[in-house]
Amino acid sequence: MKRRLEDLAIFGGPAAFPDRLLVGRPNLGDRSRLFARLEDMLERRWLTNDGPYVLEFEERLAARAGVRHCVAMVNATVGLEIVARACGLAGEVIVPAFTFIATAHALQWQHITPVFCDIDERTHNIDPAKIEALITPRTTGILAVHVWGRPAPIDELTAIARRHGLRLVFDSSHAVACTWRGRPIGGFGDAEVFSFHATKLLNAFEGGAVVTDDDALAAGLRSMRNFGISGYDEVAGLGINGKMNEASAIMGLTCLEGLDDFIAINRRNYHAYRKALAGIAGVQYCEYDERESCNYQYIVLELSGDAGLTRDQLVKLLVAEGVVARRYFSPGCHRAEPYRSLAPGTAMGLPVTDLVAGRVVVLPTGTAVDEAAVEEVAGLVRFALDQGPAIARRLGPVRPSEVYEALG
């Protein structure tokens, strides 16, 4: 435990985590099950293209999400691109800027303009009250995000989409195993897209899936995912290669079996952090609604102006200690290229996104993080903020580009 400023690594003390504690360490399932399935895959010599493990993964995911169709993809970004095509999205699509850049890129990559909407300061999700002013004759849909796995305002979004004849798709990358009003995320809007990237609750090394109850849409997704091929030597339309391979499905299936354990560990860490960080001036802890199923995959702090340190000062200090906290999602997509150059005006119009993006700190959790580590990280945060003004004076201002300099 650090007691004096000199104990802090940023001022020459030893790092609390010399081996580094990272956000996003993968959750790994049972290795023997994984290897047995991989052996079986090799025996079969069937490695991709609708193999038996992909089909099993799709079936289990569809059942868990309570939907008729699950179409596994190579990753969520390609899933978003394919669902955008299959839904006929074109022109402009309304999307929050407070999200991972993939949400916006999936549209722009297909020459669909992402029209950035501001967020709700309390939920970090798209603000439905600001959507209708952004609708133009070119608008074809809304792509909302369940940020941190906390459901987007589903009722309001559904009503707006209906009223204006828009498609509604959810980027549900964060929301595997979460519910809204007791119903699993996955069954809302026209379709939802999950990510199974290594850093996600459920990982398939890389992977994603589009889930939907719409039979025609599912058929379109399956076709587009496989070059539009409709049979031996027959191509029915335009498509791309969005297929998940068998090794990914095997990892996904194995992690699916461990999912409840992963969530229990995340939940334990969430509560341990909440207890250890309670009552620090200027710090707000991002809470989950425990009347719902939550996956607790993101531990998010928000630092306000009276925290004593700026967000970037705190993250730099943590990085020096070996705690590689992250600033998801800073800056908002509207301030990243190409959007900053394409539509410089939007930067002025997203004050809440800018505010939240300037405050957030994501701390490490997951199965690689035990309670002792949580205690230590929370102790560092508490010490740093208790000593905020003294540290800030000694550290001086920290520019965004300096925060991760120590990592090389």
Residues that bind ligand T4K (CB under 6 A): 22-26, 75-77, 99-100, 102-103, 145, 171, 173-174, 195, 197-199, 208, 324, 328
Considering the complex, what minimum distance in angstroms separates the CB of residue 390 from ligand T4K?
Answer: 29
- Under a CB-based contact definition with an 8 Å cutoff, are residues 376 and 342 in contact? no
Give me the residue whose beta carbon is nearest to ligand T4K. 24
Give 173 or 269: the residue with its C-beta nearer to ligand T4K. Answer: 173
Give 211 or 280: the residue with its C-beta nearer to ligand T4K. Answer: 211
Considering the complex, what minimum distance in angstroms separates the CB of residue 100 from ligand T4K?
Answer: 3
Could you tell me which of 325, 318, 370, 374 has the C-alpha nearest to residue 8?
318
Give 166 or 176: the residue with its C-beta nearer to ligand T4K. Answer: 176
Give 196 or 383: the residue with its C-beta nearer to ligand T4K. Answer: 196
Considering the complex, what minimum distance in angstroms separates the CB of residue 25 from ligand T4K?
Answer: 4
Give 176 or 307: the residue with its C-beta nearer to ligand T4K. Answer: 176
Which segments of 192-245 does DSSP mark as H helices, in order?
215-225
Considering the complex, what minimum distance in angstroms separates the CB of residue 322 from ligand T4K?
Answer: 12
Longest dimension (CA), the chain: 72
- According to DSSP, the residues that pair with 226 across neighbouring strands are 241
- In three-state secondary structure terms, 182 is coil
Pairwise CA distance, residues 402 & 106, whole Å:
29
Cis peptide before 331, with omega less than 30 degrees from 0?
Answer: yes
Tokens of 258: 């461990």
Summarize the chain as % helix, strand, coil (round to 5): 45, 15, 40
Considering the complex, what minimum distance in angstroms separates the CB of residue 208 from ligand T4K?
Answer: 5
Give 194 or 280: the residue with its C-beta nearer to ligand T4K. Answer: 194
Pairwise CA distance, residues 272 & 372, whole Å:
10
Give 175 or 253: the residue with its C-beta nearer to ligand T4K. Answer: 175
Considering the complex, what minimum distance in angstroms separates the CB of residue 396 from ligand T4K?
Answer: 26
Pairwise CA distance, residues 86 & 63, whole Å:
22
Pairwise CA distance, residues 270 & 81, whole Å:
33
Which residue is associated with the tokens 């398939």?
204
Considering the complex, what minimum distance in angstroms separates the CB of residue 118 from ligand T4K?
Answer: 17
- Under a CB-based contact definition with an 8 Å cutoff, are residues 201 and 295 in contact? yes
